[in-house]
Amino acid sequence: EVQLLESGGGLLQPGGSLRLSCAASGFTFTKYAMTWVRQAPGKGLDWVSTISSSGATTHSADSVKGRFTVSRDNSKNTLYLQMNSLRAEDTAVYYCAKNWAGGYLGPYAFWGQGTLVTVSS
Amino acid sequence: DIQMTQSPSSLSASVGDRVTMTCQANQDIKKYLNWYQQKPGKAPKLLIYDASKLETGVPSRFSGGGSGTDFTLTISSLEPEDIATYYCQQYDNVPPTFGGGTKVGIK
């Protein structure tokens, strides 16, 4: 059974840093690109970052470029999102998603349950 | 960035009704369009990929159509468990972008 378990969310002040983790199980992690998508309270879905299966290629939204870094440790079956210089508008539930086989930009075949990040003073 | 526009933003229908919602891209995205279902408090779930292909395990009452810039998601006979918000997403270009969603309710 495919499982994605996000962790690391919390409440922090503007300008702070946080690292999200997504522990994957139930599939061969090294074969799939992975993606972070966020959803602000009461709003729609917003793509954040994607990383290739090997980790060699990444893309991120302009809104987070230079502040967020996506990475993965294939030996630990874990996806990460390092978030720096956080702003109030980064407040959202952050989902990790397993891309479809062979897909890089999508579709997202399976999603974790999400972790809430709240940025507030 | 490619903009995705969904309509209507919300709808109410009766159980058993045929429901259709649309998604329009502001440029040609060929067939690279996905549909996701998100129930309240839950993570999104992939329903349709490549505009018209049904994801494994998704009920056959769901169908997708279209290509280029205009796409549809149809529920042939609405069930109570279909109450959710439906999002389209293009993945033809970086950044992949989502529509604003269509919220489906029961009359």
Phi first, then psi: give them for residue B5, nearest 5 degrees. Answer: -115, 120
Cβ–Cβ of A44/B34 closer than 8 Å? Answer: no
Closest by Cα among B43, B107, B48, B38 to B74: B48
Task: List pLDDT tens digits, range B26-52.
Answer: 999 999 999 999 999 999 999 999 999
Interchain CB distance below 8 Å, A47 and B55: no
Q: Dihedral sign for Cα A81, A87, A89, A92, please.
A: positive
pLDDT value at A103 more than 90: no
Using a CB–CB cut-off of 8 Å, the residues of B that contact A are 32, 34, 36, 38, 42-46, 49-50, 55, 87, 89, 91-101
Q: What is the distance in angstroms between the CA of the first residue and the CA of the last residue of chain A?
A: 40
What local confidence, expressed as pLDDT, does residue A105 receive? Answer: 85
**How many Å apart are CA B83 and CA B40, to the nearest integer?**
9
How would residue A106 be classed by pLDDT, with cut points 50, 70 and 90? confident
Query: Which three-class secondary structure state does DSSP give residue A67?
Result: coil
Give the per-residue pLDDT at A120: 97
Residue B6: pLDDT band (50, 70, 90) is very high
Backbone angles phi, psi at A79, to 5 degrees: -105, 145
Using DSSP's 3-state secondary structure scheme, residue B43 falls into: coil
